[in-house]
Each structure stands twice: as structure tokens, then as C-alpha cells.
């Protein structure tokens, strides 16, 4: 018989309930709102989420489900592809356009700077940021 009992551990999605500017990035991590996160990020109006992607090739409608769910609050999606610029499929770009979302694809560094500026201007922005080392 155990002397101490603990409640079972509940694993939840990583989530910060507010959008925040990204303060620093590199070595596979991002810093924002006084926190550090290892891995990719997805920032939408409902907050910032850990995003289990390692490559722009993994981006599709399913991995952007939160963006589509909050489309009425997003004018532009900034995609940071890591060190280099990547390409998203034309069909995905069209699906986002049909939801009224423009897409800007660039390296993660420029994407962070663009996201931070748009966020500081209170523009309806989302960011999909691929971490890199």
C-alpha cells in the first residue's frame, strides 16, 4: 500500500491562451511571454500552441485546422519554413484564400519579424513557425 497517492498525470496540448510577440528564436526553441518552447509553434487568435511539425512539407489542412477554425479572426497567415523559404501546395493556398486568409511564406526569422509587426499593429494575424537548429 502506497503512503502517498497522486492523481494521474493529465497530458494536455501545450497552449498559451494569448497571442504574444516572439522575443527570441534559434537552436530549435522560441521564447515568448517570458517562456521558452522547444519545437514549432502555431499562433492564432486563441493563443500560441505547440505544433508538432519539423518541415514545411508537413503543412496541410489538418495541421492548420486551428487556422481554419478561427478563419473569421485572421486576415493573414505568416508561415515560417525554417532556415529557407518553402512552398505550400496551391490547393492549400486556395483553401485558405477561400476562407479570406492571405498567406505569406518565408524563412522563420523573417516570418517572426513580420508576425511581431502585424501583432503590434493589432492586425488579425496568425503564424505557423517551423523551429530549426
DSSP classification of residue 58: G
The CATH number that applies at residue 67 is: 3.40.1230.10
Query: Which three cell numbers mark 25?
Result: 528564436
Asked whether residue 3 is domain-assigned, the answer is no
pTM of this structure: 0.89
pLDDT bin (cut points 50, 70, 90) of residue 93 is very high
Segment 51-65 shows an average pLDDT of 96
Segment 69-86 shows an average pLDDT of 96
How far apart CA 87 and CA 102 sit, in angstroms, is 14
- Of 126, 119, 121, the closest CA to residue 103 belongs to 126
Residue 1 has pLDDT above 50, yes or no: no
**Domain range for 25:** 16-129
Asked whether residue 4 is domain-assigned, the answer is no
Strands (E), 33-107: 35-38, 40-44, 47-51, 76-80, 102-106
The percent of residues above 90 in pLDDT, for the chain, comes to 86
pLDDT bin (cut points 50, 70, 90) of residue 104 is very high
Amino acid at each position: 500500500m502506497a503512503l502517498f497517492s497522486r492523481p494521474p498525470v493529465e497530458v494536455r496540448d501545450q497552449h498559451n491562451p494569448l497571442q504574444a510577440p516572439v522575443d527570441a528564436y534559434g537552436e530549435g526553441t522560441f521564447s515568448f511571454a517570458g517562456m521558452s518552447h522547444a519545437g514549432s509553434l502555431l499562433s492564432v487568435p486563441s493563443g500560441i500552441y505547440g505544433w508538432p511539425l519539423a518541415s514545411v512539407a508537413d503543412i496541410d489542412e489538418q495541421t492548420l485546422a486551428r487556422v481554419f477554425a478561427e478563419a473569421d479572426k485572421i486576415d493573414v497567415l505568416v508561415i515560417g519554413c525554417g532556415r529557407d523559404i518553402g512552398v505550400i501546395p496551391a490547393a492549400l493556398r486556395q483553401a485558405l484564400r477561400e476562407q479570406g486568409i492571405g498567406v505569406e511564406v518565408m524563412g522563420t526569422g523573417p516570418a517572426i519579424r513580420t508576425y511581431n509587426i502585424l501583432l503590434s499593429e493589432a492586425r488579425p494575424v496568425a503564424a505557423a513557425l517551423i523551429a530549426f537548429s
